[in-house]
Amino acid sequence: MTNSISKIGLGTVQFGIPYGISNKQGQTEESEVSLILNYAREFGINILDTASAYGTSEQVLGKNDLSGFKIVSKFLLHNSKKSISQQLHDSLTYLKSQSLYGYMSHRPMEIVSNPKLWEELIQLKTQGFIKKIGFSFNEIHEVEPVLSLGLIPDIIQVPYNYFDNRFESYMKALNQNGCEIHTRSAFLQGLFFSELNNLNAFFNDAKPIIQELQKYGSSLAGMLLKYCTDKFFIDKVIFGVNTLSQLKNNIKDISVTNKLPLQKISINESILIPSQWPK
């Protein structure tokens, strides 16, 4: 197993909802999920990333043998009447698991506005229900308020890809302090593979670079993953697939692919944040 493959974690949002700008297949069939999980385990992929906000992802995962996997999930307090403890209990029930490897706030500012919630997470960790607690950051302005309150995470997840290195200085600093760094959006929700003629003018700033990248053809996915796994300060690169064949191809490509050219890329920040994309 190459170092690149050992740094891969499997995202599971597609198992619970139709997800991704280039996803034409919708939500992954449960039978396909089982094949994907078995293949991932066989290749030493040991992190599964899910969340209560990912539709039925946790329930679908729980219908499978999850032995050998470390499961990371996330909670979301917005519009929920349930506490962190209650949401954790639900997740563990769905996943048929006694504990989670990681549990993260999906909206870090919810913890900043009520730091006592962090104490609840520490207590759940002390009780053995969670090994690592932390945050899934969405935008750069969320990090400083968290750290200034002394809410030092064991684990974080941030977006990171060929276009997006906004969090890099924090990633390096936290990594040096023993925090486990997970990244997502290596494919920027599939934007790198999109049909350029069908893309909204909102993406015009990125289209010329995407056009150049797409000249790498079927190797592009592996190259985008390798760009992330090669970073010493990244522990796991989380990406999702809809089919077993996608997972097989990505694993094959990341093992044999060349590196993407290093260059300074300046992209409109709104393109880096899918929540700001036109609906």
Average pLDDT in the chain: 93
Residue 72: half-sphere exposure toward Cβ, Cα within 13 Å? 30
Closest of 255, 240, 254 to residue 37, by C-alpha: 240
pLDDT value for 19 = 56
Residues 6+ apart with CB under 8 A from 234: 7, 160, 171, 175, 181, 182, 183, 228
Band (57; pLDDT cuts 50, 70, 90): very high
pLDDT value for 279 = 81
- What distance in Å separates the CA atoms of residue 21 and residue 176, rounded to the nearest whole number? 34
How many structural domains does the chain have?
Answer: 1
Which of the two residues, 196 and 5, has the higher pLDDT score?
A: 196
pLDDT exceeds 60 at position 21: no
pLDDT exceeds 90 at position 204: yes
What is the CATH classification number for the domain harbouring 177?
3.20.20.100
Which of the two residues, 178 and 279, has the higher pLDDT score?
A: 178
Which of the two residues, 262 and 211, has the higher pLDDT score?
A: 211
* Residue range(s) defining the domain that contains residue 118: 3-276
pLDDT value for 257 = 73
| pLDDT 10s digits, 151-178 | 999 999 999 999 999 999 999 999 999 9
Q: Which two tokens stand for residue 179?
A: 């925090």
Band (20; pLDDT cuts 50, 70, 90): low
pLDDT value for 1 = 47
